Structure 1
Amino acid sequence: MLCLVIGATGYVGARLVPRLLDAGHDVRVLARDARRVAARPWGDQVQVHVGDVADPAATAAACQGIDAVFYLVHMMDATGRSEFRQRDLDAARAFARSAADAGVARIVYLGGLQPATGPNSAHLASRHEVGEAFLASGVPTAVLQAGIVVGAGSASFEMLRHLASSAPLLPMPDDAYHRIQPIAIDDVLHHLLACLDLPPQLNAAFDIGGPDVLTYRDMLVGYAEVAGYPLVGVPVTLPVSPAAAARAVEAVTPVDRHLAGPLLESMAYDLVCHGEPPTSVPPGGPTPYAEAVRRALAAEGAAGPMPADPTGFELVSQRVEHVDAPVAQLWGVISGIGGRAGWYTVPGVWALRGKLDELFGGIGARRTRPDRLEPGAALDWWRVEAVEDGRMLRLRAEARLPGVARLEMRAEPDGPRSRYVQRTTFEPVGLPGRLYWYAQLPAHAFVFAVMARTIAGVAERRITRPG
């Protein structure tokens, strides 16, 4: 069967494509950027049509000869504009016409669980409207309505994961006590593939979920238990606007506020299954929530992260210095850093930092300089993570820290001169990591500012003059 996947580089799509290939199906993808497809492990095993789902000409070409379509895109993933709901619906209707004209035999759409009665959030209403548009298209459609998808890289799961690890006491608004029926990513993939075996004329919506009906508080505490974090949910009734809540989530998770906002609005409703899945249950039965979390943390199969997934939360500090020297001269200073040359900052500060690290069982301020800068090489208390000769050096700290610290140094052209870009990042682990970052921030800002200015100055003084 020739299957077209819309949203193949997204969270679910990137995991569905290899499952389709393993099942013996041929796969075509419609993508705006062919490079993102090529970067996937399966990129050379699929047909690629370059285009936008909102472009009728692109969708008409992509649908030619297709047996089944998996439609896995939502406009709110790509824009923070308020009109995402209309954009989503317009794109779905236009695509449905392309599919009908091309004689596509089946559309499979992944939507969201809906409240049993009453009002709805804009996010959930949009998914419902798109599903209805496909069901009314004349092309036999299976609409799968799922709750929170549990797996590393899922926006809802990453938001939950980072919130659960942010503090041992977490304020819980009233919406945190609404019920939700989460589902493991492996179970979602099972149901998507099973839709290819539905009766040819079947046209209906189905709810899919795991075996556990939980509150959002239950999910946060349950995640913390599996991950080994202490977490107590504290009920609060503080009035917080959706925009403020979304910005707060963006501050402590890798989820953008434009995506967090609609997800948070959906917390105001009970979202549980009211019907049966379209076909058989997954092998071994639906995956319990705790097991789905364990698989995500253990990076097992589809539950593990992929390179493009928003799994890491980074605290970032960056400095840029304009250097009156060519790029090659600046790179010479960057590539010669460490060892006897030192780190071009406040004298004695790294030696003191090394002594403190030794007290806590770390490696200290060892003086090790490799013959060649290459990934994996030790450079004092850092490990080389990536090198672009003449341009970039990225290091990962090996000191004992409540998180992962990196230092990236770049030499960029700036006309006949150059620009030095120094970027420090920290991926905190739990509350101790966040407290460490903010406690050290003033000292780090001073130390790394001195380092940036000194590196720029050294590069300028080393300019070779004709003689």
Structure 2
Amino acid sequence: MHVLVVGATGYIGSRLVPHLLGAGHDVRVLARAPHRVPAHAWADRVEVVAGDARSPADVTVACDGVDAVVHLVHAMDGPCYADRDRAAAHALADGAAASGVRRIVYLGGLQPGDDGRPVSPHLRSRREVGDVLLAGPVPAVVLRAGIVVGTGSASFEMVRHLSDVAMGGPPMLLLPDRAWNRIQPIAVDDVLHALAGSLGLPAEVSRGFDIGGPDVLTYRAMMSEYAAEVGLVRPFPVPVPVSAPRLTARAVAALTPVDRELVGPLVESMRHDLVADPADTTALDALIGPPPGGHTPYRTAVRRALDGVGAAGPGPSDVPGSGPLAWETTDAHDVDAPAHAVWSVIGTLGGEHGWYTVPGVSTLAGFLDVLAGGPGRLPRRHPAGRPRLVAGEPLDGWVVEAVEPGSRLLLRATAPLPGVAHLDIRVRPTGRLSSAYTQTLRFRPRGLAGRLAWLAALPAQRFVCAVMARTLTGVAETRYREAVRSP
């Protein structure tokens, strides 16, 4: 089947394209910004048509000769997004009809029941787009999903980062009352299965289907289950009977990588219960079959995202800052000595030689261990006959994770920190008698305690690391000059 994907460089689209290619489909993409396409591994396997999804002429050209269209345009990046989405829907309905397209598939959002509350503008726009496509002459399937679970999904990244901040902190957690509303999350792999499967439905099927995973949870429970999956302590939740969506959106934007323009509509939609109609799920399963292995439970979907498995892993179209929070600081120096001379000094790190840093600080891991309540200095151990730098070998308060002799040493801190710390030391030649040294400390905090520990240690850590980098490279230069002068 020849399939046009509109919105191919977005979160879902960038994962759907390789899914379709793997199923044997020919894929064309309509891209308003074609320069973004080469960032994707599938770029050289698709036909790219430059154009605007809101332009009837551009859409008609893109639809020419294709069998089906998957519409994944969700503006939500500023004011008047509903107008832009409506224009794109009408352009597709008309362009697909004019070009003889046989099927349209659209991914929208779950809709609330009659709870007496005004429907949020975000969800109202999703419903309107679906209605426009279903009213057109081309058979359409409108899939309505809630929170999509996978790295890079804006709604999942909100859950991830809010949970990381809130869980493992105070024993009680204040949450807005809407956190007790229900939602039915769905794994990104299950969404891709539903989109691809709907392409082959017979022409008489032109309707909407709610889709969701097997778990119906409150937003509070989603955070709690995420925390349990990553090993964070879950505090006792206390509802705050006040809804302040604008204030909440500002707080969420400050604590997560999701842009405020995107956070606002998502937070506004939390005022509703968003649960799939089980009859829809049953009907769609009967038509296209359930996902391989069955519908994915929420905890399993979270684990896939954490492990970076398949479509649940990171991608170039993800929300900036997606994935686990990780901070890093880097010290870099140009060295007037060849790389092998610098490496010879790196090979002496630890033990009786120390870490070329502030006297009394045996190692940065030991320094951080003091903050964590530990002894601060761990002995270096070397089994007899083994070389110093070997993967898996303890090195003071570190363990060697990787060694590339002459160029790289990667260490992981073993101190009981509220997070995971790595020290990445690299050296590369820049000339016959010169080299470049870089020393990067990376820290992935665990819960609120990890964030506070990093911020508290940052001034002293920067001083300790800077002294280490400057001293180590200075020692390398001095030893090399002495070696050259020696007869």
- Provide TM-score, normalisation by structure 1: 0.75
| Whole-angstrom CA distance in 1 between matches of 2:80 and 2:459 | 41
**Between 345-354 and 187-196, the greater mean CA deviation after superposition:** 345-354
Q: Is the 8 A contact 2:189 2:312 kept in 1?
A: yes
Which protein shows a greater Rg? 2
Q: Of the candidates 405, 409, 413, which is equivalent to residue 399 of structure 1?
A: 413
SS of aligned partner of 1:235: strand
Which residue of 2 is the match for residue 412 of structure 1?
Answer: none
**Between 273-282 and 103-112, the greater mean CA deviation after superposition:** 273-282
Percent identical across equivalent pairs?
Answer: 53
Which residue of 2 is the match for residue 461 of structure 1?
Answer: none
| Whole-angstrom CA distance in 2 between matches of 1:314 and 1:394 | 24
| Whole-angstrom CA distance in 1 between matches of 2:70 and 2:253 | 30
The change in CA–CA distance for 1:253 and 1:135 in structure 2 (over 3 A counts) is same
State the Cα distance separating 1:359 from its structure 2 match.
Answer: 5.2
Which residue of 1 is the match for residue 435 of structure 2?
Answer: none
Which residue of 1 is the match for residue 262 of structure 2?
Answer: 259
Listed as ranges, the matches of 1:252-401 within 5 Å are 252-274=255-277, 275-277=279-281, 279-280=284-285, 281-283=289-291, 284-306=293-315, 308-310=317-319, 311-314=322-325, 351=363, 354=366, 398-400=412-414, 401=417
| Whole-angstrom CA distance in 1 between matches of 2:379 and 2:29 | 48
Which residue of 2 is the match for residue 429 of structure 1?
Answer: 446
Which residue of 1 is the match for residue 95 of structure 2?
Answer: 98
Q: Is the 8 A contact 2:422 2:442 kept in 1?
A: yes
SS of aligned partner of 1:86: helix
**Between 308-317 and 350-359, the greater mean CA deviation after superposition:** 350-359
Which residue of 2 is the match for residue 127 of structure 1?
Answer: 126
State the Cα distance separating 1:112 from its structure 2 match.
Answer: 0.3
| Whole-angstrom CA distance in 2 between matches of 1:155 and 1:350 | 42
State the Cα distance separating 1:435 from its structure 2 match.
Answer: 2.3
State the Cα distance separating 1:226 from its structure 2 match.
Answer: 3.0
Which residue of 2 is the match for residue 390 of structure 1?
Answer: none
| Whole-angstrom CA distance in 2 between matches of 1:454 and 1:244 | 48
State the Cα distance separating 1:249 from its structure 2 match.
Answer: 2.1
Which segments of 5 or more consecutive residues in structure 1 lack a partner in the other structure?
371-378, 386-392, 410-420, 456-467
Work out whether 1:70 is the aligned partner of 2:70: yes
SS of aligned partner of 2:284: coil
State the Cα distance separating 1:74 from its structure 2 match.
Answer: 0.7
Which residue of 2 is the match for residue 236 of structure 1?
Answer: 239
Which residue of 2 is the match for residue 11 of structure 1?
Answer: 11
Work out whether 1:202 is the aligned partner of 2:219: no
| Whole-angstrom CA distance in 1 between matches of 2:261 and 2:401 | 35
The change in CA–CA distance for 1:127 and 1:423 in structure 2 (over 3 A counts) is farther
SS of aligned partner of 2:4: strand
The change in CA–CA distance for 1:38 and 1:189 in structure 2 (over 3 A counts) is same
The change in CA–CA distance for 1:63 and 1:383 in structure 2 (over 3 A counts) is farther
State the Cα distance separating 1:429 from its structure 2 match.
Answer: 2.3
The change in CA–CA distance for 1:398 and 1:181 in structure 2 (over 3 A counts) is same
The change in CA–CA distance for 1:356 and 1:449 in structure 2 (over 3 A counts) is closer
Work out whether 1:181 is the aligned partner of 2:192: no
Listed as ranges, the matches of 1:116-155 within 5 Å are 116-117=113-114, 118-155=117-154
| Whole-angstrom CA distance in 1 between matches of 2:364 and 2:214 | 54
Q: Is the 8 A contact 2:212 2:276 kept in 1?
A: yes
Q: Is the 8 A contact 2:70 2:106 kept in 1?
A: yes
The change in CA–CA distance for 1:226 and 1:126 in structure 2 (over 3 A counts) is same
Q: Report the AA paired with residue 452 of structure 2.
A: L
Q: Is the 8 A contact 1:382 1:395 kept in 2?
A: no
Q: Is the 8 A contact 2:245 2:264 kept in 1?
A: yes
The change in CA–CA distance for 1:182 and 1:343 in structure 2 (over 3 A counts) is same
Q: Is the 8 A contact 2:355 2:363 kept in 1?
A: no
Deviations 1:235-265 (A, max 9, x none): 2316463333223223333322222222111
**Between 351-360 and 396-405, the greater mean CA deviation after superposition:** 351-360
Which segments of 5 or more consecutive residues in structure 2 lack a partner in the other structure?
390-394, 426-437, 473-487
- Provide TM-score, normalisation by structure 2: 0.72
| Whole-angstrom CA distance in 2 between matches of 1:176 and 1:241 | 12
| Whole-angstrom CA distance in 1 between matches of 2:268 and 2:408 | 39
Work out whether 1:222 is the aligned partner of 2:233: no
The change in CA–CA distance for 1:257 and 1:447 in structure 2 (over 3 A counts) is farther
State the Cα distance separating 1:328 from its structure 2 match.
Answer: 11
SS of aligned partner of 2:226: helix
**Between 139-148 and 151-160, the greater mean CA deviation after superposition:** 151-160
The change in CA–CA distance for 1:408 and 1:265 in structure 2 (over 3 A counts) is farther
State the Cα distance separating 1:136 from its structure 2 match.
Answer: 2.4
Q: Report the AA paired with residue 19 of structure 1.
A: H
The change in CA–CA distance for 1:246 and 1:397 in structure 2 (over 3 A counts) is farther
Which residue of 2 is the match for residue 465 of structure 1?
Answer: none
SS of aligned partner of 1:268: coil
| Whole-angstrom CA distance in 1 between matches of 2:179 and 2:447 | 21
Which residue of 2 is the match for residue 164 of structure 1?
Answer: 163
| Whole-angstrom CA distance in 2 between matches of 1:360 and 1:346 | 14
The change in CA–CA distance for 1:186 and 1:51 in structure 2 (over 3 A counts) is same
State the Cα distance separating 1:70 from its structure 2 match.
Answer: 0.7
State the Cα distance separating 1:306 from its structure 2 match.
Answer: 3.3
Q: Is the 8 A contact 1:395 1:406 kept in 2?
A: no
Which residue of 2 is the match for residue 462 of structure 1?
Answer: none
Q: Report the AA paired with residue 245 of structure 2.
A: P
State the Cα distance separating 1:137 from its structure 2 match.
Answer: 2.8
Q: Is the 8 A contact 2:174 2:240 kept in 1?
A: no
Q: Report the AA paired with residue 437 of structure 1.
A: W
| Whole-angstrom CA distance in 1 between matches of 2:57 and 2:439 | 44
SS of aligned partner of 1:101: helix
Q: Report the AA paired with residue 40 of structure 2.
A: R
| Whole-angstrom CA distance in 2 between matches of 1:31 and 1:423 | 37
The change in CA–CA distance for 1:99 and 1:233 in structure 2 (over 3 A counts) is farther
**Between 340-349 and 217-226, the greater mean CA deviation after superposition:** 340-349
| Whole-angstrom CA distance in 2 between matches of 1:362 and 1:32 | 56
The change in CA–CA distance for 1:328 and 1:94 in structure 2 (over 3 A counts) is farther
Deviations 1:192-231 (A, max 9, x none): 1121222214322111112222211222222223333221
The change in CA–CA distance for 1:339 and 1:109 in structure 2 (over 3 A counts) is same
Q: Report the AA paired with residue 125 of structure 1.
A: R
Q: Report the AA paired with residue 178 of structure 1.
A: N
